[in-house]
């Protein structure tokens, strides 16, 4: 992804001269090395703005569990396989699932798909609420406030879109768009560019100015379609890191919508990051945070809604203390799935308290990683809070409650363990100093949580 920096210059920048006069007037200065000067934004829906994937995963787990009468260990496998199968056409995904979970003799891909579709009736009474993708509403609200014209380009049909929105976390999401284009309005679906041409036209942008449109996509097919339409394209993959190669065509790849640097595309810069002026920003080796604008300090993003995660401390991969000298009190992701789907994988900080024998140690500050720990290439998601307190003994099985308050960064890969350790210690400093300097407000609302 770092390499995208040099390969990303969109030709919209080099094609002055043949732009409309109107377009020229709107042109503002773009930061040195920025990817492009875009003025319009086009969004994909599923997996980009709303998390339909999580619901599909749940249905797959429920259906396969029933078919195989399986135990909780196998449920974890189903859960992982379902996640892996995301972003494909339904039948392809079903085939992958049958193969990975060795379901031959139990169910065939077509039947499995049928069973899942029966359960997945979007918009019907009793369906789970479809959560927004982390950072989606922050992005939409900000662009709306800055009067950036926006369109939706979804493969979903109009009818299905209405149903999905009825059950969405943010029911009025469609009000943010100046144009809406659905899958049944085009002859060919993504990866064909047709739907992005349509969205561009509806935004009133001529074909030769397609590079002024910034597309947000989560799948490789979507990226291909956007690029074929001549648009600039940001990918926020819904597929695993191992599959990130499939996103090579994108102008830039981010781990989540929270990490997007709009100014790199000629759009207004987010105003809600808070600098921790006492902690210097150094782009570590292995650090994938890219920005063309030089950043001087570490920073954090206060969550719009703090999140409480509670559960027994479980055994993790057994390497935190041994390998890193940094113990992390792991929580089980399975019962907390709904809550952590609200968070982008990444590094967060907040508070933690133990509710068993260690209750008397009080409330502690904590930094945590929620995700796949790319350095170790974990296949399973984990929640790993490092409590910034020295304990006399381990506290496995004791109930731990964590209050997640702020986002710091995406997970990174590092070439050496020392670099990883150094980075984690820096995260701890960001947390300590953010609280010491009183940079985190909104804690009053949670004052009951702090009473032990």
Instruction: State which residue, 38 or 328, has the beta carbon closest to Mg ion.
Output: 328
Q: What SS3 class is residue 19?
A: coil
Told to check if 396 binds ligand ADP by CB under 6 A, we report yes
Told to check if 319 binds ligand RBF by CB under 6 A, we report yes
Residue range at the interface with ligand RBF (CB under 6 A); choices 59-67, 165-173, 362-370, 439-447: 362-370
Give the distance, in angstroms, between the CA of residue 128 and the centroid of all CA atoms in the same chain: 20
**Residue 44 designated active-site:** yes
- By the 8 A CB rule, do 348 and 363 touch? no
Told to check if 276 binds ligand RBF by CB under 6 A, we report no
Question: In angstroms, how far apart are the furthest CA atoms of the chain?
Answer: 72
DSSP 437: T
211 is in the binding site of which of Mg ion, ligand ADP, ligand RBF, none (Cβ under 5 to 8 A by kind)?
A: none
Told to check if 344 binds ligand RBF by CB under 6 A, we report no
Least Cα distance to 260 among 350, 151, 136 occurs for: 136
- Residue partners of 178: CB distance under 8 A and separation at least 6: 149, 150, 151, 202, 203
**Residue 53 designated active-site:** no
SS (H, E, C) 123-147: CCCCCCCECECCCHHHHHHHHHHCC
Residue range at the interface with Mg ion (CB under 5 A); choices 9-17, 164-172, 277-285, 315-323: 315-323
Per CB under 5 A, the list member of 48, 328, 358, 373 interacting with Mg ion is: 328
Instruction: State which residue, 80 or 185, has the beta carbon closest to ligand RBF.
Output: 80
Told to check if 316 binds Mg ion by CB under 5 A, we report yes
CB of 416 to ligand RBF, least distance (A): 12
Told to check if 376 binds ligand RBF by CB under 6 A, we report yes
> In whole angstroms, what is the distance from residue 9 CA to residue 29 CA?
15
Per CB under 6 A, the list member of 40, 395, 414, 435 interacting with ligand ADP is: 395
Told to check if 345 binds ligand RBF by CB under 6 A, we report no
CB of 320 to ligand RBF, least distance (A): 4
| Sites for Mg ion among residues 290-309 (CB under 5 A) | none
Told to check if 404 binds ligand RBF by CB under 6 A, we report no
286-307 b/e with 16+ CB inside 10 Å = b? bbbbbbeeeeeebbbbbbeebb
Told to check if 288 binds ligand RBF by CB under 6 A, we report no
> In whole angstroms, what is the distance from residue 376 CA to residue 322 CA?
14
Q: What SS3 class is residue 387?
A: strand
CB of 283 to Mg ion, least distance (A): 27
Active-site entry in 23, 132, 341, 384: 384
Residue 362: CB atoms within 10 Å: 11
Residue range at the interface with Mg ion (CB under 5 A); choices 183-191, 311-319, 345-353, 365-373: 311-319
Told to check if 350 binds ligand RBF by CB under 6 A, we report no
Least Cα distance to 262 among 6, 16, 38 occurs for: 38
Per CB under 6 A, the list member of 30, 139, 203, 329 interacting with ligand ADP is: 329
Two structure tokens written together for 255: 């781990």
Instruction: State which residue, 157 or 321, has the beta carbon closest to ligand ADP.
Output: 321
Told to check if 311 binds Mg ion by CB under 5 A, we report no
Residue range at the interface with ligand ADP (CB under 6 A); choices 31-39, 157-165, 270-278, 386-394: 386-394
**Residue 384 designated active-site:** yes
189 is in the binding site of which of Mg ion, ligand ADP, ligand RBF, none (Cβ under 5 to 8 A by kind)?
A: none
> In whole angstroms, what is the distance from residue 21 CA to residue 27 CA?
10
Q: Which residue is nearest to ligand RBF (CB)?
A: 375
CB of 365 to ligand ADP, least distance (A): 10
- Residue partners of 263: CB distance under 8 A and separation at least 6: 31, 34, 269, 292, 293
Measure the CA dihedral 5/35/373/359, to 10°: 130
Q: What SS3 class is residue 197?
A: helix
212 is in the binding site of which of ligand RBF, Mg ion, ligand ADP, none (Cβ under 5 to 8 A by kind)?
A: none
Two structure tokens written together for 395: 């506290």
Residue with tokens 């960064």: 409
Told to check if 314 binds ligand RBF by CB under 6 A, we report no
Question: What is the binding site for ligand ADP (CB under 6 A)?
Answer: 313, 315-318, 320-322, 327-330, 386-387, 389, 391, 394-396
Which residues are annotated as catalytic?
44, 46, 384
């Amino acid at each position: 992804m770092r390499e995208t920096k040099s390969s990303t210059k969109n030709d919209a920048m080099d094609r002055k001269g043949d732009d409309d006069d109107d377009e020229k007037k709107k042109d503002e200065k773009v930061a040195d090395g920025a990817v492009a000067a875009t003025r319009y934004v086009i969004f994909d829906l599923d997996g980009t703005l709303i998390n339909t994937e999580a619901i599909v995963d749940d249905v797959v787990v429920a259906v396969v569990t029933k078919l195989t009468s399986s135990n909780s260990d196998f449920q974890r496998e189903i859960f992982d396989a379902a996640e892996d199968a995301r972003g494909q056409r339904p039948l392809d995904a079903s085939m992958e699932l049958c193969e990975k979970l060795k379901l031959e003799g139990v169910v065939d891909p077509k039947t499995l798909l049928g069973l899942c579709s029966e359960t997945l009736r979007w918009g019907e009474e009793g369906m789970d609420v479809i959560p927004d993708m982390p950072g989606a509403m922050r992005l939409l609200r900000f662009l709306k406030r800055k009067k950036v014209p926006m369109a939706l380009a979804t493969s979903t049909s109009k009818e299905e879109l209405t149903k999905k929105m009825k059950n969405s976390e943010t029911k009025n999401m469609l009000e943010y768009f100046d144009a809406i284009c659905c899958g049944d309005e085009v002859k060919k679906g993504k990866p064909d560019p047709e739907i992005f041409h349509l969205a561009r036209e509806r935004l009133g942008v001529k074909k030769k100015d397609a590079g002024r449109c910034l597309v947000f996509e989560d799948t490789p097919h979507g990226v291909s379609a956007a690029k074929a339409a001549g648009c600039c394209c940001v990918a926020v993959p819904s597929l695993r890191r191992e599959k990130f190669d499939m996103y090579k065509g994108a102008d830039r790849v981010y781990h989540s919508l929270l990490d997007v640097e709009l100014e790199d595309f000629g759009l207004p810069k987010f105003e809600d990051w808070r600098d921790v002026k006492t902690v210097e920003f150094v782009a570590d080796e292995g650090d994938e945070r890219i920005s063309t604008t030089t950043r001087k300090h570490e920073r954090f993003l206060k969550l719009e809604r703090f999140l409480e995660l509670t559960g027994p401390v479980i055994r993790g991969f057994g390497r935190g203390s041994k390998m890193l000298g940094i113990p992390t009190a792991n929580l089980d992701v399975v019962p907390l799935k709904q809550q952590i789907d609200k968070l982008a994988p990444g590094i967060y900080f907040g508070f933690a308290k133990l509710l068993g024998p260690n209750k008397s140690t009080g409330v502690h500050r904590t930094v945590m990683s929620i995700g796949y720990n790319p350095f170790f290439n974990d296949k399973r998601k984990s929640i790993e809070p490092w409590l910034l307190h020295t304990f006399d003994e381990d506290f496995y099985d004791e109930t731990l409650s964590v209050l997640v308050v702020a986002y710091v960064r995406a997970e990174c890969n590092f070439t050496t363990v020392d670099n990883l350790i150094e980075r984690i210690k820096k995260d701890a400093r960001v947390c300590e100093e953010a609280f010491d300097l009183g940079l985190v407000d909104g804690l009053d609302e949670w004052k009951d949580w702090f009473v032990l």
